[in-house]
Amino acid sequence: MGKGPLSFRRLSSIRRRKKGSSVKDDPNQSSNPSSPPPPSPINAGGSVAAGTTGKAKKKAGGARLWMRFDRTGAMEVVECDKSTIIKRSSVPARDLRILGPVFSHSSNILAREKAIVVNLEVIKAIVTAEEVLLLDPLRPEVLPFIDRLKQQFPQTNALEATPNVQSFDPEAGEGLQSELPFEFQVLEMALEVVCSIVDTSVASLETDAWPVLDELTKNVSTENLEYVRSLKSNLTRLLARVQKVRDELEHLLDDNEDMADLYLTRKWNQNQQAEALLEGTVSVAPPHNSSNLYRLTSNRSASMVTSNMDEDDVEDLEMLLEAYFMQLDGMRNKILTVREYIDDTEDYVNIQLDNQRNQLIQLQLILTMASFAITAETLLASLFGMNIPCPLYNIHGIFWYFVWSITAFCFVLFMVVFGYARWKKLLGS
């Protein structure tokens, strides 16, 4: 998915090369690190290797299994309770409920002050500017995402991963800016894994759908109808999954403020710049002017932050989300095409059944007309079968003449009724 024609990395690298000259001349790049320092390991929850102690704590405190993966490639699997995760990621407790089993079928990408809460299909994680906290990392569906993280962020030394502020090279800054921030790389990998899972499900659905539907058009049986019913149920569930992820991306694309809130690394850099500017101004200011300088510095830092929050700031994220939105939209169109084919097949089967039903009704009408003619003949035979004296009984050989006469009369009666039904178009040609 990330390497397809809609991959964001190609588009981002092309656009960044156009901005290379402006990056080289940016004085802030040489005085502030472009990414936060690597985080410290989680110590509160205890490692999984702790054995029975960790299991007992999980039962007692409601701890769940989390995996911490930072931008230096360091990884650890721990059992943490909600309070530990809240303190480390600075997210409200209600966001952890979104990652719980109650909202397991929903799709959300929520921007917070220092983290991004991601709930996309099987990917349930909290992404910060330094690390990603992944819930239930031992599930088989989550392993491809972990492998992508290991490939994207190979384990390195923390000192090598931290930018050297004193010896910052402008040429290196250009290459650094050509890459996405850590949180966006993690978000892209999550979307890539989700799109891969959904695309596999859509391909499997298409592979199973066409033979079953073709067989149903040839033979309308209970077994084939049961297959189509199961296929339609799977299609409805898959369409709901794709629609939820697509709607979440569409919601983000429609709101620039929400996309701007997802820039965690940029917000960290702006906070660092504001703090450095504040410390530098306060250190040289007289004591009696400290309050005025504080307000002045706050206004300058706020204006600096506001000036950077223009429309171009969300262009990278918009291109990333737009690429995967188009992929999900294409999958949705495939599912809708299969559903339309199922609907067309059902209409065709209903037409076949209606035609057979009409044929049965016509046959029933013909049999009813024949029964009416035979009933008339039976009535005449019953009248002459009564034990009442009649002169016709004394005529020799009159029986066969009478039988053939009433039979011919009944046949003529049947043809008259049949012709009337054809005239009224009650019977087909």
d(CA 399, CA 99): 95
The whole-number pLDDT of residue 28 equals: 42
Confidence of residue 43 (pLDDT cuts 50, 70, 90): low
Tell me the average pLDDT across 6-32: 45
The whole-number pLDDT of residue 172 equals: 39
Percent of the chain's residues with pLDDT above 90: 29
Res. 21: pLDDT tops 70: no
The whole-number pLDDT of residue 38 equals: 65
The whole-number pLDDT of residue 270 equals: 77
The whole-number pLDDT of residue 190 equals: 93
DSSP codes of every residue in 300-340: HHHHHHHHH-SGGGGHHHHHHHHHHHHHHHHHHHHHHHHHH
pTM exceeds 0.75: no
Tokens representing 250?
A: 């569409």
The whole-number pLDDT of residue 96 equals: 85
Lowest-confidence segment of 92-101, 287-296, 307-316, 321-330 by average pLDDT:
287-296
Tell me the CA distances in angstroms from 248 to 34, 96, 186, 302, one per residue in order: 29, 18, 17, 30
The whole-number pLDDT of residue 404 equals: 86
Give the type of residue at 322: E
Helix (H, G, I), strand (E, B) or coil at 78: strand
Res. 325: pLDDT tops 80: yes
Stated length of the chain: 429
Lowest-confidence segment of 13-17, 63-67, 104-108, 378-382 by average pLDDT:
13-17
Res. 161: pLDDT tops 60: no
Tell me the average pLDDT across 284-295: 48
Tokens representing 169?
A: 């090279």
Q: Which of 262, 212, 269 is nearest to 33 (CA)?
A: 269
**What's the pLDDT tens digit per position in 259-275?**
888 888 888 877 777 77
The whole-number pLDDT of residue 55 equals: 46
The whole-number pLDDT of residue 295 equals: 46
CA 418 to chain centre: 60
Q: Which of 280, 125, 281, 127 is nearest to 194 (CA)?
A: 125
The whole-number pLDDT of residue 58 equals: 42
Which residues on adjacent β-strands are paired with residue 78? Answer: 47, 66
